[in-house]
Structure 1
Amino acid sequence: MELEPGPLELRLRREFAGTRGESRVVVRQAVDLAESGQYEADVGVELTNDVIVSELEDAPNGTPADRWNWWIGSLEVAYTGYGRFGIQRFRK
């Protein structure tokens, strides 16, 4: 089963109380990560909606982006090369 962006966005909003825009950004990063093949090569598991939601459930409380960044940080420590998939916030 491959990553499904539309259903993933809905799950993120439902399960982690994310806004539509924030959940879309997480999904965009998840698609980039899946397309890179890096996660599957490092972990040996295909990146799917269920995998992402399960990993984000393990993160401390927060929005989808907070949880995503926590998980990406964990992957960066374990394997390196994941920082580019993090979500940055810019303030004006």
Structure 2
Amino acid sequence: MFIDPERLEDRLHEEFDGSRGEARVVVRQAVDLADSSQYEAHVGAPLTTDVILEELADAPSGTPADRWNWWIGSLELAYGEYERFGIRQYRK
């Protein structure tokens, strides 16, 4: 696996000012996306912790879930079939 869930959770929490619970939700979606191999098939490169952090850093300001949904929305527009990896609702 190219995603280190613990490292990703820590970095999401530290860099994007989200709660631990919210960061865990994003990590679960990221692992599901990586396991699907969909990103790698479309982009031609594996989904890694560093790729996710770079992409979320480019997103408009917001929590980790906000940034994740922005990126997933971009992938949906570009390739389709990414909506299922979005975070529909995060309850604090």
User: Unaligned regions of 5+ residues in structure 2, if any?
Assistant: none
TM-aligned CA deviation for residue 40 of structure 1: 0.3
1:44 aligned residue? 44
TM-aligned CA deviation for residue 37 of structure 1: 0.1
Distance 1:9 1:46 in 2: 19
Instruction: Give the alignment's Cα RMSD to 1 decimal.
Output: 1.3
Find runs of 4+ consecutive structure 1 residues off by over 2 angstroms: none
**Within-5 A mapping of 1:1-92:** 2-89=2-89
Identity of aligned residues (%): 69
TM-aligned CA deviation for residue 53 of structure 1: 0.2
Q: What TM-score does the superposition give when structure 2 sets the normalisation length? A: 0.95
Give the partner amino acid of 2:87: I
- Count of residues paired in the alignment: 91
Distance 1:10 1:17 in 2: 10
